[in-house]
Amino acid sequence: MGVIVTGIVVEKVTRHFAGQPVLKGVSLAVAAGEFVALVGPSGCGKSTLMRLIAGIDRPDGGRILINGRDVTALRPAARNVAMVFQSYALYPHLTVAENIAVPLSMRRMGVAQRLPLIGRIWPGSRAARRGIAEDVRSAALALGLTNLLERRPSQLSGGQRQRVALARAIVRQPAAFLMDEPLSNLDAALRVHTRREIVEIHRRAGAATLYVTHDQSEALTMADRVAVMQAGEILQVASPRAIYADPDDLRVATFIGSPRINTLPAEIDGHGLTRVAGFPTGVRLCGAERITGAATLALRPEDLYLADGGIPATAEGLEFLGESLLLHARHVGTGTALVVRLPPELVPDLPPGSRVTLGFDPARALLFDARGRRLRDTAVVPEPSLV
């Protein structure tokens, strides 16, 4: 990782709550113009990290830099970041236009100018107000809020409130955007639609964007890079494609992907050959990573198929999804549950209890050591039983 001057840089940040470590030395960099999604299960520390970057909370250790400036000790107001909250946190007594104007009036007008009555006649406030009104109008235009400017938040739908929160964030062109699960209060259809809009807004604004979510499909569809977080640690930061197809860690592999990746307990012998319950898989570990003993072989549901030879399993049920079909089965040797994604037109009648054999391409199998670290240096051994 080179030195990134612009954008958000988090260096070895730690945070404890009541003696419990919530962040265990987290480092992350979001370049200017980049969209990074921070994804992880609830309670993994992702919202805490976001609050630290915004300055609402202070880290116990480590540094936070925004556009090259160390902001660790600065108040939120001095950091020039904008944040969209899960609850939107709109001011209920202000109209949409006033809500969007708040970040501007806090910056551009003095204390006296902001006062309700005196502020109107205070010198210079008319020009400041006119500038603010113009910027509010263009932010509202960008989010299609022009007709709603005089409404109060309570008169808006969830999606509209969300747009107001976004408009309030973009109106002052911040150095960084922070979004804390901004879509989780919307219904499913609106969520998919708003995803595209947020990406579009990000592209136009060009600021570093950190987007916190527990929804992996949001992370994969929206982000340039995805950071997977678990138990206070960032496990991997990579492009959505790499996170899905080439995970560093078994926890990343099992967290990303739905249905969950299949994991089979495996054995690596002295020659590097991998077996599952005595069955040769055709995956050989080679090179420097000479590890023997217990390991895990992971296979995406779409990488398994029905074959004449392969790992033996018992069918347990079928789930029709429209474009595909999920076969739930159980591995005969280890009793591990398996899910296979199949094209719906190819599946024969499989009553529960019937025996199937599942084939796979060894080149697509992912091998992990006993501690869950990825073993990358693998090769395919031609194996007659796995045609």
Partner 1 sequence: MSEAVLSAAPARREGATGEALTAWALGLPAVLAYLVLLLLPTLAAILLAFTDYELGAPAFAWIGLDNFSELLRDRGFAQALRNTVFYVAVVTPGSILGALALALLIEAGTRGRTLFRAVFFLPVVSLTVAMASAWQYLLHPSIGPLNAVLRQVGIDGPAWLSSSDTVMWSLAAIGIWENLGFNLVLFLAGLTAIPREMYAAAEVDGAPSAWERFRLVTWPMLGPTTLFVLTITMIRSVRVFDTVKVLTQGGPNRASEVLLHAMYLEGFTYFRLGYSAAITLVFLAIVLALMWLQTRVLDKRVHYG
Binding to partner 1 by CB under 8 A, coded x per residue (else -) over 137-176, reads ---------------xxxx------------x--------
Contact between residue 330 and residue 316 where contact means Cβ atoms under 8 Å apart: yes
Run of H or E including 164? helix 158-170
Extract the tokens encoding 102.
């708040």
Residue type, 115: L
Choose between 90 and 222: whose C-beta lies nearer to partner 1.
90
DSSP structure class, residue 255: H
Question: Judged by CB, which is closer to partner 1: 103, or 272?
Answer: 103
- Considering only residues 168 through 227, tell me which ones interact with partner 1, judged by CB under 8 A: 168
CB of 85 to partner 1, least distance (A): 5
- Four-point Cα dihedral 204, 206, 207, 211, nearest 10: 60
Minimum CB distance to partner 1 smaller for 135 or for 303: 135
Q: Least CB distance from residue 284 to partner 1, whole Å?
A: 53
Nearer to partner 1, 75 or 371 (CB): 75
User: In this structure, are residues 67 and 6 in contact, taking their beta carbons and an 8 Å threshold?
Assistant: yes
| Closest approach of partner 1 to the CB of residue 177, in Å | 11
The answer to whether residues 358 and 329 touch, using CB atoms and an 8 Å cutoff, is yes
Q: Which of residues 50-109 bind partner 1 (CB under 8 A)?
A: 51, 54-56, 75-77, 81-83, 85-87, 89, 91-94, 102-103, 106-107
Q: Which stretch binds partner 1 (CB under 8 A): 49-57, 190-198, 293-301, 323-331?
A: 49-57
In the complex with partner 1, the residue whose CB is nearer, 167 or 266, is 167
Mask for 4-23, x = binds partner 1 (CB under 8 A) = --------------------
Kindly determine how many residues on this chain lie close enough to bind partner 1 according to the rule CB under 8 A.
Answer: 29
Give me the count of residues in the chain: 387
Q: Is residue 182 helix, strand or coil? A: coil
Q: Which is nearer to partner 1, 111 or 188 (CB)?
A: 111
User: Containing H/E element for 314?
Assistant: strand 304-320
Amino acid letter, residue 328: H
Cβ nearer to partner 1, comparing 99 with 216: 99
| Type of residue found at 326 | L
Least Cβ distance, residue 186 to partner 1 (angstroms): 17
In 104-137, which positions are buried (b, 16+ CB within 10 angstroms) versus exposed (e)? bbeebbeeebbeeeebeebeebeebbeebeebbb
* Cβ neighbours of 374 (radius 10 Å): 20
Residue 10: name the closest of 57, 73, 56, 53 by CA: 53
* Nearer to partner 1 (CB atom), residue 122 or residue 305: 122
CB of 11 to partner 1, least distance (A): 21
**Nearest partner of 94 among 181, 179, 147, 156, judged by Cα:** 156
Least distance between partner 1 and beta carbon 4 (Å): 23
Residue 47 φ then ψ, to 5°? -70, -35
Shortest distance in whole angstroms from residue 130 CB to partner 1: 20
Inter-residue contact 247 to 374 (CB < 8 Å): yes
Q: How far is the CB of 283 from partner 1 (least distance, A)?
A: 49
For the bound state, the minimum distance from the C-beta of residue 129 to partner 1, rounded and expressed in Å, comes to 17
Residue number, 97 or 228, with CB nearest to partner 1: 97
Q: Which residues bind partner 1 (CB under 8 A)?
A: 51, 54-56, 75-77, 81-83, 85-87, 89, 91-94, 102-103, 106-107, 111, 114, 152-155, 168
